[in-house]
Amino acid sequence: MSIKRMADLDLSGKRVLIRQDLNVPVKDGKVTSDIRIRASIPTIEQALGKGAGVILMSHLGRPVEGEYNTEYSLRPVADRLAELLGQPVRLEKQWLDGVVVNPGEVVLCENVRFNAGEKKNHAELGRKMAALCDIFVMDAFGTAHRAQASTHSVAQYAPTACAGPLLAKELDALGQALDNPKRPLMAIVGGSKVSTKLTVLESLSKKVDQLIVGGGIANTFIAAMGFNVGKSLYEEDLIAQAKKLIAEAKVAGGEIPIPVDVICAKEFSETAAATVKNVADVADDDMILDIGPQTAAQYAQQISSAGTIVWNGPVGVFEIAQFGAGTQSLAEAIADSSAFSIAGGGDTLAAIDKYGIKEKISYTSTGGGAFLEFLEGKELPAVAILRNKA
Ligand code: 3PG
Ligand code: MG
């Protein structure tokens, strides 16, 4: 890879701007899963060790652009970073017009998505970010599939742009693992964003031996098989696509199984009563919020005989106890399996954390969408710009 790497550059006395993916779940002002923050620490320590003044950028969630919103503040992230680094991390609310940073210091810029033009990759915004530094380090693998001002435009205008150690490690590890996977190759793709994962599903359905779908995605497949999904989250206009995917998987010798039983509730809440139902018995006022025990056992069985497992997305609303059993059972089956397992995605990492199986996953990626686009074989735009620069 003809990309400059941070490890090869002289950072001494330099202002080093590092784009990280510190987009982590936050509840009541506290970080609830810090895997991404912990993954960013070695990069920061390496830059500090080389004598740099470190300026960090990240997004958090999807706030309305152009306005500050406490709910999406990086404050909890700054606090956790400071704890892990054992040194102060100064959170700067106003940073676009300049940041003072001395060698050995760490400054965290408030949520990049509070700036108008971030998501549209505005050149002017990228120029301002670039002006903060001598060297720009792209280390946010989890956001490398986004061409946004803080991942793309900034790299274009920075005096020097390079890949950080985390980004480099992710690209190397995933590339190696997927080059020649041990079969059967199984992918588990869950989560609520059906339409956003369609191209990934298209590509995976042709490559893998088994594709297990979960969450809102599974509901669309359940509907495609002619079952009632009641009030469940699903996408009616994607039913035809789902049918096509099932057919394509068959042609390629694979399969996309549909849950035989599901966990339903009448409302989406922490106190909702959970009922196990056969997939054919879902009522008009039901919401499917997890896979049922029989389905979980069947998937666990398939997982146990896989050679390689790629996991992105929970299969149920695991944040709520009574809808978490399906995801927990899958997580434990993956942990117990002898397959080479790769997991990625914000919710997936949170589930891995929750069920305490991190040590039993062969490789945990900090990427969600980026991880999936990498699996699809797409070049990530934030990596492409580094290549162009080099
Ligand atoms: C993620 O969690 O998937 C990344 O941080 C990217 O976030 P986004 O999907 O809001 O761009
Ligand atoms: Mg995401």
Query: Which ligand 1 atom is at minimum distance from the Cα of 148?
Result: 11
Task: Kindly report the backbone phi and psi dihedral angles of residue 130, in degrees, each rounded to the nearest multiple of 5, phi listed first.
Answer: -60, -35
- Which of 143, 145, 167, 380 best tests ligand 1's pocket when mutated (most atoms within 8 Å of CB)? 143
Torsion 13-14-15-20 (CA) sign: negative
Low-confidence ranges of the chain (pLDDT < 70): 1, 193-194
Q: How far apart are CA 32 and CA 30, in angstroms?
A: 6
Q: Note whether 298 and 306 are within 8 A (CB).
A: no
Is residue 75 annotated as part of the catalytic site, yes or no? Answer: no
pLDDT computed for residue 193 by the predictor: 66
Using the 8-state DSSP alphabet, how is residue 322 labeled?
G
pLDDT computed for residue 144 by the predictor: 97
Q: Report how far ligand 1's centroid is from the alpha carbon of 26 (Å).
A: 14
pLDDT computed for residue 220 by the predictor: 95
Q: How far apart are CA 74 and CA 153, in angstroms?
A: 22
Tokens of 144: 């490398």
Q: Of 4, 14, 15, 36, which residue is the catalytic one? A: 36
Is residue 193 annotated as part of the catalytic site, yes or no? Answer: yes
Tell the burial category of 94 from Cβ atoms under 10 Å away from its Cβ (0-12, 13-18, 19+).
exposed
pLDDT computed for residue 373 by the predictor: 87
